[in-house]
Amino acid sequence: MIDPGVAAILPRLNEGFPRVETMSAPAARAAIRARLQPDPEPVPVARVHDRTVPGPGGEIPVRIYWPLDRDTDETARALIVFAHGGGFVFCDLDSHDDLCRSMANGAGAVVVSVAYRRAPEHPWPAAAHDVHAVTMWASEVATDLGADSERLIVAGDSAGGNLAAVASLLAREAGEPRIRAQALLYPVVAADFTSDSYVRFADGHYNTAAAMKWYWDQYVPEPADRIHPHASPIRADLAGLPPTLVITAGYDPLWSEGADLARALAAAGVRTVHHDHAGAIHGFMTMPVLDLCEAARKQAWTDLRALADQD
């Protein structure tokens, strides 16, 4: 059954979200940006700093958050590199500011949010390479950031979950940096539009199958490329990947692939924590108006602390 809080706002969400599949990417980006309502009183953190980091295609903007965690030795803090969602096309550092603030405080970690290059102007695999580059940089300067490079986590929601998962694959292939864990929030991990959840939740539940197909067309325009593990990380050899937190939403076209990924990781011997929020919709962890959002965040940040602290 759908969560009552979700049911109460779902009609407004369905009505208000632009039909991006009928738009150009710049128009969709502008429409999504126009919906952003910054919190006049954002969640307090110790400090926030914007800067740029060298990347394969030029300087990459990042936003760094330090937590209000006075009881933690700064050099022992986890370091989380976070990739925002947005269909590989839109959203930015501002759209996920609240989530990153909550993550920094809840996980007691320094969070580096990445403004990677977006599609279609920068198609696959540009965004994933940017996230990997920032992960490399964060590992190298962890001490300067007041964090522990040995407690490095990559995280992302939706399309950002794809980029975080691919960054882990790239790190494994390159032999660096060493990633302690990955956190994938309702991730995009397969270009399979025939799954059970794609069929059941194709429309009417905020995220739509039509929008998802359009996102893939923008990011990986050549269908033959979509089977590459750096595009669909569920197709990768998963053995030896870092312990993984997977969060899924029950009323989401992406539910099947997220659940499949959690099972595949566990079968490959990867320590996997899977929390399925059966009554939730896609993107619910960026909807603080929902009680479900707050509960899911608290659980996720607890899980991240545990993964960062593991031997």
Which residues carry out catalysis?
158, 252, 282
Q: Is 84 exposed, middle or buried (0-12, 13-18, 19+ CB in 10 A)?
A: buried
What percent of the residues of the chain are helix, what percent strand, and what percent coil, each to the nearest 5?
45, 20, 35
Element (DSSP H or E) covering residue 117 = none
Block residue for tokens 């939740």 = 201
- Count other Cβ atoms within 10 Å, centred on residue 116: 29
Give, in order, the Cα–Cα distances in Å from 134 to each of 51, 131, 159, 168, 170: 12, 5, 17, 12, 12
Q: Count Cα neighbours of 304 within 13 Å in the Cβ-side half-sphere.
A: 33
The b-or-e profile of 234-256 (16+ CB within 10 A means b, else e) is: bbbebeebbbbbbbbbbbbbbbb
